[in-house]
Amino acid sequence: MRNQLTVLLVGEVDRELRGEVFQAQKVKSAPHYFEISIPHPVIVGEAKSSIDNVPLVFSIKGYPPDILLIESTIEVKDVFDHEAMAKLESAIYEQSYKILAEHGGSRDYSETYSVFSVSGYAGEPEQFLKHSPAIASLLKSERLELDPKEIEHTMSAQIKYAKNDLAIIDWDGAFLFDPEGDVLPTIELLTLANLQLLRARILDRQLDDRLKHVSKFIKRPESSKKLFKVFDNAELSEDLRQIIKIIMSSIAEVQLLERDIKLIGDWYSARLYDLATHKFKVNEWRATIKEKLDLLEDVYGIVKENFSISEKDRAEWIQIIAWFFLQIGWFVLIIIEFLYFTK
């Protein structure tokens, strides 16, 4: 029997990622367009290290423009040894975070995930459910002994494709049982679910920043209505363009990712992906993002209205000033004529 631990870390970096596109294995019974529909990473490089004198290779890929994926797989003696797995998992995460930092990323906007896989066994995978307490604790990254009801709830998030395989999905990790060891396609789907969660968090942050930025135009002080402020519309006009840009790019990014995932189809891959995104509460993030997009559009309407009023005020002031100079001109002509006839 073979036991493996695969650790995934996806994180935002401050540079554009480029490289050769990485082609992963096809998922079980996926439709013919699966390989061209889902987002594929580019190959960035690799890093080598060791833990307890055991060699470890970190595969570094990127999802353009700025999401880095750090993945490593290591053979383990007993995947159900909770204490040993927790210690090993923590050590790999620390090294992964160092690699992320070297590429300009931080822990604040990153997602980690552990996949424990068992292969090379005979019979059905239910034989391993006697280790349910250890499995549930590892999936929740919890070192305390869990309540039986919590263990039962965690173990209920299962999906089977064949009679002799099984996948158990939770927030911090997954347990995959496959006698043939065909787990790489499933790991890719779990990576995509973490990618979508991270992109949702990043988009949520961007919308918060934009809302804070444009709020100052709604709370514009009365002094802005004075004459010397009437002509100063450059900042307001630029902000209108920025709001339109962030609205369009945000909507496009969300729709693009959702379109790609929908193209997976109603196969094992789609069912597993739905289970993972449900655990990650991606739908709740989508709802929050939609609310903020709607709010941003409302703010845009208010700012645009203020801009229109400002334009109207500027036109009125131009008319007043023009009329003032016209009156001065007429007054000068009258004086000139008066001096001419009294000369």
Residue-level pLDDT, tens digit, the chain, 343 residues: 999 999 999 999 998 887 777 765 554 554 444 555 567 789 999 999 998 888 999 999 999 889 999 999 999 999 999 999 999 999 999 999 999 999 999 999 999 999 999 999 999 999 999 999 999 999 998 888 899 999 999 999 999 988 899 999 999 999 999 999 989 989 988 998 999 899 889 888 888 887 777 666 666 554 444 444 444 456 666 666 766 776 677 677 666 656 555 555 546 777 888 899 899 998 898 888 888 888 877 776 766 666 655 555 566 666 667 766 676 766 666 666 656 566 5
pLDDT of the residue at 41:
86
pLDDT of the residue at 15:
84
Question: How far is CA 155 from its chain centroid?
Answer: 27
Calculated CA dihedral for residues 173, 276, 117, 140, nearest 10 degrees: 20
pLDDT of the residue at 35:
55
What is the rounded CA–CA span in Å between residue 152 and residue 154?
5
Q: Count of residues for the chain?
A: 343
pLDDT of the residue at 257:
56
pLDDT of the residue at 340:
59
pLDDT of the residue at 224:
46
- Own/partner pairs for 242-247, CB < 8 Å, 24+ apart? 242/210, 242/213, 243/210, 243/214, 243/296, 243/299, 243/300, 243/303, 244/300, 246/206, 246/207, 246/210, 246/296, 247/293, 247/296, 247/297, 247/300
pLDDT of the residue at 114:
97
pTM for the full predicted model = 0.79
